[in-house]
Amino acid sequence: MAAGKPPRTARPDTRAVSAISSESKGLHPCPTSDTPSRRRILLGLAGALPALAACGFSPVYGPGGQAAGLRGQIFAADPEDRNAFVFVARLEDRLGRPASAPYLLDYRIRTNRQGLGITPDRATTRYNLLGRVSYTLTDRATDAVVARGKVESFTGYSATGSIVGTLSATEDAAERLMTILADQLVTELIATAPDWRR
C-alpha cells in the first residue's frame, strides 16, 4: 500500500442497498411471474360477489334490496318554480316517473345566499348557496303521514365575470344544489323504506 493513500474499502452491494432502501420506504419490487395478474384479481373479485350477497349484501334496487318495488311508487307534488322543477326531475330520474303512485311527497324548498370572497372595494366575488328541503310523505289511500324529515346541503359559485356570466353561474349552482338535495332525499327514503312501506 502506498504511503499517504487511505485504505481501499470494499464497494457495497448496490442490489442489497436498493432492496433495503425499498423495504424501508414501503416500496415493493417490480412484479414477477409469481405476482397475480390483473385478470386473476378481477376474477377473484367476481367470485367473491356471490359470497357477499350470501352474507346479506344485495343491490338496493335488486330483488330483496331496500328499494325493491319503490320505483314509480312516489308522486312528488307539482313544481311551482325552476328550483322545484329541477328537484322533481331528479327525483323522477332516481325513483321513476309515477303513474298511480300510492305515496304523495310534499316538499318545501328554501335557499339562502351567503357572500364569501370580498375585494378591497367591497365587491363580493364568491357566494355559497345553501339549501334545505323539508318533506312529508303521505299514504294517498289513508292520508296518513308515513315519513317526514329534511335534507340540507350547499354549493358555491364565483361572481367575478360579466353580469351574464354571473347569472349563468348562479343558475348552475342552483341546479347542482337541487340535484344534491334530491339525491340526499332519495337516499333517506330508501334507508327508511322498511319502516313506512306497506
In a domain? residue 13: no
Examine the domain organization and report whether 82 and 142 are in the same domain. Answer: yes
Kindly indicate the confidence band of residue 167, based on its pLDDT and cuts at 50, 70 and 90: confident
Examine the domain organization and report whether 51 and 129 are in the same domain. Answer: no
List, in order, residues 6 or more apart from 141 with CB less than 8 Å away: 102
Tell me: the pLDDT tens digits for 9-68? Answer: 445 454 444 444 444 444 444 444 444 555 554 445 445 444 444 444 444 544 445 555
Examine the domain organization and report whether 183 and 95 are in the same domain. Answer: yes
Q: Retrieve residue 27's grid coordinates.
A: 416500496
**Distance in angstroms (rounded) separating the CA atoms of residues 70 and 196:** 11
In a domain? residue 11: no
Assign residue 80 the CATH number of its domain. 3.30.160.150
Domain of residue 58: give its range.
40-64
In a domain? residue 143: yes
CB 159 within 8 A of CB 120: no
Number of domains in the chain: 2
Q: Retrieve residue 146's grid coordinates.
A: 308515513
Tell me: the pLDDT tens digits for 71-124? Answer: 899 999 999 999 999 999 999 999 998 878 999 999 999 999 988 877 777 777
Examine the domain organization and report whether 59 and 111 are in the same domain. Answer: no
